[in-house]
Amino acid sequence: MRMGKKIDGKALRKLAGCFFLLINKSFVGFVPVSSVSISFFGYKANWLFFKSYMALKSGSASVADMKLLAKFAELTDSHQVFEDICRKYDSRIKFRDYSHARFHGSGWGEGCLNVYREVVDQKGMLFEKVFFKASEDFLKLQQFYGEFESQLEGGCIKAPRIIEEKSGKYLSVVYFEFIDIDGSADDDMSEHENIVLIGKILRALSEVDIGGNLECKEKTRISDYLNVQHYREGVRFIDRMADEASGSELADIKDIRKKLDNIYEKLVFSHGDLVAANYSIDGWLWDWDRCGFYPVCFDMSWAVLNVVKFSSFEELMSVNEDLISRCYHDFGPETELLNNAAIFSFVFYCRKFKPSREDKIFKEMCRYLRKRCTRPAAAA
């Protein structure tokens, strides 16, 4: 029996993409027809774009739809498309008049479009970030600049000022002062230099006072570390491991899962996403939309995990122990602080590396948690 030629799926998707652009008259003009935009349809994952566009067109676009559409605008390097997408989602949104704009990196946060721009207008260069107004990220950003930024003035760390905020019904466009730096710490610093700078940042943040002028519900919200994205995703991964396990392995993971409740709840002001891409050698620290008062060692554990090259859990904990002695020595008993560092490091390791149950460092962490992190949660 003679078989026909195998259909080239990628070519078929490109053809369908071209066909979609040509027959959908309202789409042509909204998205520039070019080799770049056509090639975008050549990737299987981006078939979701069709669904997202139709959802936007019908007024039912989700946050995920908007992020995908914004990414499309970045990939096609079309600022008109980016702004049109935002206006279709929120007719009240406005942008600054600018003479030049450039897409500048991307992120993975939940509360913004994760596509950023540099814009140049009569006041100079600004950094633009579009937030969903109802998101926790946007509320925390407002909290930081309204309540806590002033406490950092004159210290070793600096936060970019907000120049203007243009709010619609669902979106808010925030323009920050543009920081002219040679690069983030991620680009320019050695591991040791990063650790030294992290120590200075942690100490400066620990001196920020929550004060008595916040409502109780606001204090509760900004101390909700369980809802910080990378912590929550790490816990979800551990829960999925439990769902896939059985017998003694299941009992073991459930036992480790319970250890996560044994947090020493001394709170300290935290950036929330203290990674090298968010701070510079000369003391600038940006992206404050995950900040809050979280248990001591939360920021430290995430920062160290993302900076240190380690081949064992002991190596990782030795760096944490050194930072605890320099930054948090007056925040509680050393055993409690090490307990927090171990728990947070375990969750963040699961979030970042998604290890198997046979992973060497994962096993070392589990042994450490069983042996050391045994304080009853009620005593926290």
CATH at residue 129? 3.30.200.20
CA distance 73 to 156: 37
In this structure, the answer to whether residues 230 and 278 fall within a common structural domain is yes
pLDDT tens digits, one per residue of 57-87: 899 999 999 999 998 889 888 999 899 999 9
Buried b (16+ CB within 10 A) or exposed e, 162-195: bbeebbbebbbbbbbbbbeeeebbeeebeeeebb
Overall average pLDDT of the 41-53 stretch: 62
Q: What is the pLDDT of residue 43?
A: 44
In this structure, the answer to whether residues 57 and 1 fall within a common structural domain is yes
Domain boundary residue among 89, 115, 147?
89
Return the closest-CA partner of residue 36 out of 66, 83, 81, 67.
81
In this structure, the answer to whether residues 96 and 84 fall within a common structural domain is no
In this structure, the answer to whether residues 130 and 200 fall within a common structural domain is no
Q: What is the pLDDT of residue 317?
A: 96
Q: Helix, strand, or coil here: 117?
A: strand
Q: Helix, strand, or coil here: 132?
A: strand
User: How many domains does the structure of the chain reveal?
Assistant: 3
Instruction: Rank 28-37, 187-196, 258-267 by mean pLDDT and report only the highest.
Output: 258-267
Element (H, E) at 202: helix 191-206
In this structure, the answer to whether residues 119 and 39 fall within a common structural domain is no
In this structure, the answer to whether residues 85 and 150 fall within a common structural domain is no
Tokens of 37: 């935009």
Domain containing residue 298: 185-379
Tokens of 332: 């509680």
CATH at residue 286? 3.90.1200
- Looking at the predicted structure, is the pLDDT value of residue 362 above 80? yes
Confirm if 373 and 342 have CB atoms less than 8 A apart.
yes
pLDDT tens digits, one per residue of 228-287: 999 999 999 999 999 998 888 888 899 999 989 989 989 999 999 999 989 988 889 999
- Looking at the predicted structure, is the pLDDT value of residue 44 above 50? no
Angle, alpha carbons 363-369-375 (nearest 5°): 170
In this structure, the answer to whether residues 287 and 142 fall within a common structural domain is no
Q: Are strands 267-270 and 162-167 parallel, antiparallel or unpaired?
A: unpaired
Q: What's the pTM?
A: 0.84
In this structure, the answer to whether residues 155 and 205 fall within a common structural domain is no
Confirm if 227 and 233 have CB atoms less than 8 A apart.
no
In this structure, the answer to whether residues 118 and 219 fall within a common structural domain is no
Domain boundary residue among 54, 71, 89?
89
| Residues paired with residue 28 on neighbouring β-strands, in sequence order | 31
Least confident range from 13-27, 50-64, 323-337: namely 13-27
Confirm if 339 and 372 have CB atoms less than 8 A apart.
yes
In this structure, the answer to whether residues 129 and 194 fall within a common structural domain is no
List C-alpha distances in Å: 379 to 6, 264, 328, 345. 65, 9, 20, 21
Half-sphere exposure of residue 229: CA atoms within 13 angstroms, side-chain side: 17
CA quadruple 212, 213, 216, 220: dihedral, nearest 10: -80
Overall average pLDDT of the 192-219 stretch: 83
In this structure, the answer to whether residues 9 and 85 fall within a common structural domain is yes
| Residues paired with residue 175 on neighbouring β-strands, in sequence order | 128, 164
- Looking at the predicted structure, is the pLDDT value of residue 348 above 60? yes
In this structure, the answer to whether residues 357 and 209 fall within a common structural domain is yes
Domain boundary residue among 89, 105, 123?
89
Tokens of 9: 């799926």
